Amino acid sequence: MPELKHILLVQDDPGDIELIMSCLAENNLVNRIVTVWEGQEALDYLKCHGKFADRTDGDPAVVLLDLKPPQIDGLEVLKQIKTDIKLKCLPVIVFTSAHENRDIEESYKLGASSYILKPIDLHQFSDVIKIIGDYWAIVTEPPRLDGCIAK
C-alpha cells in the first residue's frame, strides 16, 4: 500500500483547526496534517523557503485553503501556486466561510480544484471533512510534482 501523503491546511482560526483535526480523527483519516497560519507561510512551505528550507516530507496530496489568512490572502496564495511551474498541478481546495460570488468565481478562474463552504452544522462539517479527506487524500492519485523534494 502506498504511503499516505499529508494534507496542507492553511487556516488561522484555532477553533476551525481543532474542529477539522477532530473530524479527521473521528472519521479515521490518518493522513498527517501540516498546519500553517499565514498565506506567506503556506507559500514558504510549498516552495521550501525560510523556516521550511530543509523540509523533506514531499508535496502534500492537497492544500485545504482558507481565503482569509493573514499577510497574503487565500486568492493570492492560490494565484501564486497556480502560476508556479512546479506547483500548478497541486490540488487546492478553497475551504472557507466566505460565500461571495466574486470569491467563488475568482477561485475557479485561478485554478482551484474545488470551492467548499464551511458548514455551520457540526455533523455536516464532519461529513464534508470526511468527503474531502477520503477523496483528495485517499481516492485521488496526486500528481508527481517537481517541487523542492527529491522523489
Helix residue ranges per DSSP H, 10-144:
14-26, 39-47, 74-82, 101-110, 122-132
Residues 30, 36, 37, 39, CA torsion sign? negative
Number of structural domains found in the chain: 1
Whether 146 is covered by a domain: the verdict is no
Q: In this predicted structure, what is the pLDDT of residue 140? A: 79
Q: In this predicted structure, what is the pLDDT of residue 150? A: 35
What are the residues whose beta carbons fall under 8 Å from the beta carbon of 149, sequence distance 6 or more? 48, 55, 56, 57, 58, 59
Closest CA to 35 of 25, 45, 26: 45
What are the residues whose beta carbons fall under 8 Å from the beta carbon of 43, sequence distance 6 or more? 49, 72, 77, 80, 81
Written as tens digits, the pLDDT of the chain (151 aa) is 456 678 999 999 999 999 999 988 887 777 789 999 999 999 999 999 999 999 988 888 899 999 998 889 999 999 999 999 999 999 999 999 988 999 999 999 999 999 999 999 999 999 999 898 888 877 877 676 655 443 3
CATH assignment of the domain containing 127: 3.40.50.2300
Which range marks the domain in which residue 36 is found?
Answer: 7-139
What are the residues whose beta carbons fall under 8 Å from the beta carbon of 127, sequence distance 6 or more? 119
Q: In this predicted structure, what is the pLDDT of residue 2? A: 55
Whether 97 is covered by a domain: the verdict is yes
Whether 41 is covered by a domain: the verdict is yes
Whether 19 is covered by a domain: the verdict is yes
Whether 79 is covered by a domain: the verdict is yes
Task: Give me the half-sphere count of Cα atoms (radius 13 Å) on the Cβ side of residue 102.
Answer: 0
Whether 16 is covered by a domain: the verdict is yes
Q: In this predicted structure, what is the pLDDT of residue 146? A: 54
Neighbours of 123 (CB within 10 A): 9
Whether 29 is covered by a domain: the verdict is yes
Whether 151 is covered by a domain: the verdict is no
Q: How much is the pTM?
A: 0.88
Residue type, 69: P
Q: Please, are residues 32 and 58 in contact by the beta-carbon 8 Å criterion?
A: no
Q: In this predicted structure, what is the pLDDT of residue 1? A: 44
